[in-house]
Chains A and B, each alone.
Chain A
Amino acid sequence: AQSVAQPEDQVNVAEGNPLTVKCTYSVSGNPYLFWYVQYPNRGLQFLLKYITGDNLVKGSYGFEAEFNKSQTSFHLKKPSALVSDSALYFCAVRDGAGGSYIPTFGRGTSLIVHP
């Protein structure tokens, strides 16, 4: 079975400071990891993904994520936060070994960037 955990319901950061939104996962085989963002009253939008290769993945809007196999983590990061980054962020996983294409989502982390 595949699962993903986002240990923080909310992350607060000042504008201009670096931000990290945490995600850990559990899969049987190779993990395929995704981050999505949801703005108020909107659907989820894809940000970035890790399939294979470099552990540091770059995505939309200046976001990046670091894959750490030993810690089974895929934390989302941004060097300098913007107020407009305030949104709900979801981590998702697909298990390559299980052959399941169905993504499993975490509970979401609300990111609040203060001016």
Chain B
Amino acid sequence: IAGITQAPTSQILAAGRRMTLRCTQDMRHNAMYWYRQDLGLGLRLIHYSNTAGTTGKGEVPDGYSVSRANTDDFPLTLASAVPSQTSVYFCASSTTGVGTEAFFGQGTRLTVV
């Protein structure tokens, strides 16, 4: 089934540790995004990529990095996790047309202790 796959589904991480959240899509979408969802704050954009080889910063990029080596994969890395990065992380993809909807993965629930 076409779509977006995120891994892991959930993770408990010690503060200071490095963690990579994986995201893979098979729809050949050019654009990919990482959002974090926090209660009362909705979805906030962390980083995005409009095509393989390019990335950009969103609203809350500090403490996170991304790479886009190919069309399908868009991993999100926390270099040194802090408790404030406890959140649910969603990867999404779309075409770059403004009239097209985004497709979301099932999310990664990350707890930093």
Contact = CB atoms under 8 A, between A and B. Distances in A.
A103 B90 contact: no
Contacts of B13: none
Interface residues of B, number: 27
Interface in B32-48: 33, 35, 40-43, 45, 48
B94 A101 contact: yes
B101 interface: yes
Given A44-B90, A101-B96, A107 B104 contact: no
Contacts of B107: 41-43
Interface of B: 4, 31, 33, 35, 40-43, 45, 48, 50, 58, 90, 92, 94-99, 101-107
Interface of A: 9, 32, 34, 36, 41-46, 49, 51, 90, 92, 94-96, 99-108
18 contacts: A32-B99, A41-B107, A43-B92, A43-B105, A43-B106, A44-B43, A90-B42, A92-B102, A94-B99, A99-B98, A100-B98, A101-B50, A102-B31, A102-B33, A102-B48, A102-B58, A106-B42, A108-B43
